[in-house]
């Protein structure tokens, strides 16, 4: 059993509405533009969230919490090739509107997206997986921000919110 557990927290503020950011977390074609290829998502509670890391394994998770457009919590299946240390690896995506910052910036909306990862064993065997996911989010969230904040008229995503709002 691992001596301890570790996690990570990432945050990005995106100058766009919360429904658009929510959609970007769930739409496979959009995810492929800013995060990774080979995405499969059944966007509902108890659904599946599957991504293939670049040059690496496919990670499969069950959607534990599905609360559009505020929260998406994933509980990962055992990671391929990793020792079973009795841990449960979780990623939580929390979305909030920041109306005060939006008014101060003179924009229609600002969405705060937080990605929280937890349950990674402290052991050396887990260090590459932990580092890869933590640093992957450090690189991916700024790409998401650039993609979603692209000015109208420039090539960019067209979203229809999944929430029906």
* Residue ranges making up the domain that contains 27: 5-35+79-149
Look up the pTM and report it: 0.88
pLDDT at 84: 85
94 belongs to a structural domain? yes
| pLDDT digits 0-9 by tens, 124-145 | 999 998 998 999 999 999 999 9
Instruction: Confirm whether 11 is domain-assigned.
Output: yes
Q: What is the pLDDT of residue 162?
A: 36
Domains: count for the chain: 1
Residue 71 resides in a domain: no
Q: List, in order, residues 6 or more apart from 59 with CB less than 8 Å away.
A: 50, 51, 52, 53, 76, 77, 79
pLDDT in tens, 20-58: 999 999 999 999 999 988 899 999 999 999 998 777 788
Decide if 67 is inside a domain: no
Contact 15, 107 (CB under 8 A): yes
Is 102 within the bounds of a domain?
yes
> Would you list the DSSP string of 10-49?
EEEEESS-HHHHHHHHH-HHHHHHHT-SSEEE--STT-EE
How far does CA 150 lie from the centroid of its chain?
A: 20
**Residue 141 domain flag:** yes
Task: Tell me, yes or no, whether 22 lies in a domain.
Answer: yes
Residue 139 inside a domain? The answer is yes
């Amino acid at each position: 059993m691992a001596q301890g557990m570790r996690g990570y927290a990432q945050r990005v503020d995106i100058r766009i509405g919360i429904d658009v950011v929510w959609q970007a977390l769930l739409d496979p074609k959009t995810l492929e533009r800013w995060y990774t290829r080979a995405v499969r998502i059944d966007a509902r509670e108890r659904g599946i969230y599957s991504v293939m890391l670049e040059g690496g394994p496919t990670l499969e998770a069950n959607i534990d919490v599905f609360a559009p457009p505020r929260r998406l919590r994933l509980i990962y299946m055992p990671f391929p090739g990793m020792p079973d240390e009795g841990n449960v690896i979780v990623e939580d995506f929390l979305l909030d509107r920041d109306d005060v910052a939006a008014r101060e910036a003179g924009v229609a909306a600002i969405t705060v997206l937080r990605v929280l990862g937890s349950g990674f064993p402290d052991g050396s065997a887990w260090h590459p997986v932990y580092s890869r996911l933590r640093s992957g989010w450090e690189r991916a969230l700024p790409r998401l921000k650039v993609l979603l904040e692209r000015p109208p008229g420039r090539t960019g995503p067209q979203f229809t919110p999944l929430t029906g709002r």
